[in-house]
Chains A and B, each alone.
Chain A
Amino acid sequence: GAGVSQSPSNKVTEKGKDVELRCDPISGHTALYWYRQSLGQGLEFLIYFQGNSAPDKSGLPSDRFSAERTGGSVSTLTIQRTQQEDSAVYLCASSSGPGQGIFSTEAFFGQGTRLTVV
């Protein structure tokens, strides 16, 4: 696609419910990242995918958070039993792959999903 697409753009959910957030990366991009943007915490890394595998999931805040990527393309971030502190904007980014040496590859961001837990 032309850019990174995320859906839904807004999601309001009740505390305790499960939610799924979707990310469609730029076609051909092998690397995919999820970040969370919240007041007071800034932008936090959650998880990195290279293809369908996740070599770095160190930023997932608890076992209520999980993510998968299928076909080396679409990714879904799932939050189970949502809590109010999960309210944030969840950002997805993709890049053409790991950079080599000093050449970092640029990450392109989607517009995010604003999650509100009430």
Chain B
Amino acid sequence: GNSVTQMEGPVTLSEEAFLTINCTYTATGYPSLFWYVQYPGEGLQLLLKATKADDKGSNKGFEATYRKETTSFHLEKGSVQVSDSAVYFCALSVIAGGTSYGKLTFGQGTILTVHP
């Protein structure tokens, strides 16, 4: 089956610190990989995605590279801000028969708190 394992946290950092949240996956088929973010009081939003090996997704200073050899998709940001405080979810969607119907398998989520 498909599964996603991510660093559970919670993670607490000072502003301008470097962030890494680890994510590894197992999948049958060829997965697309995603990071979703849930800000306090808001719904889940797509942060970035990568659809094939060695692709790098990036958005808002966050990056993640699809590493097929290590089945990983770690999230990184060079300098976090207080406004990055949120819950981050790693997820995958598997393509089968040439079609991905978008069903997402999520990791457990990582709570990030950034202090000034």
Contact = CB atoms under 8 A, between A and B. Distances in A.
B51 A104 contact: yes
Interface string A35-58: 100000011110010100001100
Contact of B43 (A55, A102, A104, A112): A112
Interface residues of A, number: 30
Interface in B57-104: 89, 91, 93, 95, 98-104
Contacts of B102: 31, 33, 48, 95, 98-99, 104-105, 107
B42 A98 contact: no
A106 interface: yes
B103 A56 contact: yes
B28 to A, nearest CB: 14
A48 B49 CA distance: 21
Interface string A87-102: 0000101010011111
B45 interface: yes
Interface of A: 4, 31, 33, 35, 42-45, 48, 50, 55-56, 91, 93, 95, 98-112
